[in-house]
Amino acid sequence: MKSRLIKERYVRGSLIPVITQVLWGFAFLCLCFTCFLIILELQHLSDRKSTNGEVISYVESHETARFHPKIRFKDQQGIVHDFIDGTGATAPLYVVGTIVQVDYHPLYPNIAEMTTLYYRWGSSFAVLSMATLCWFMGSRFTYRVKT
């Protein structure tokens, strides 16, 4: 007995095969996950304050062979804090002395991170791109049926 859920369907003169339904279903799930990631990031940002910081040096991680920037910033009370950012690269990305945006927790300023577009929104953009790709790939398998 064939499943009623998985079968080719006809919608407004178009044949929608099973592969299209699977790809569109995956695209819908990716879109939902993108919304979840955006909400999670916005909630994370709502707990933070933003200020400018200065890259004062780099620390090389011997385990990963990556350079992590050491950043200095002042919080709302004017207290200076230094931290080593978790994002690293195989070569230093910023010149020492470069001003960067820093997000920190107002109650715990030592919990800070450098704000970059990729670090902040990269995962949301990647999952949204995957949803778009699956949607278009699924669309390639639909056929117009002449009645």
pLDDT tens for residues 51-79? 999 999 999 888 888 899 999 999 989 99
pLDDT for 121 equals 84
Nearest-angstrom CA–CA distance, 104 and 97: 20
Is the predicted pLDDT of residue 145 greater than 80, yes or no?
A: no
Is the predicted pLDDT of residue 90 greater than 60, yes or no?
A: yes
The pLDDT-based confidence of 146 (bands split at 50, 70, 90) is: low
First vs last C-alpha separation in the chain: 28
The pLDDT-based confidence of 93 (bands split at 50, 70, 90) is: confident
Nearest-angstrom CA–CA distance, 50 and 120: 13
What confidence tens digit (pLDDT) does each residue in 5-39 have? 566 666 666 677 888 888 899 999 999 999 999 99
Is the predicted pLDDT of residue 92 greater than 60, yes or no?
A: yes
Nearest-angstrom CA–CA distance, 40 and 139: 30
Nearest-angstrom CA–CA distance, 97 and 49: 22
pLDDT for 12 equals 63
Q: Report H helices in the chain.
A: 18-46, 117-139
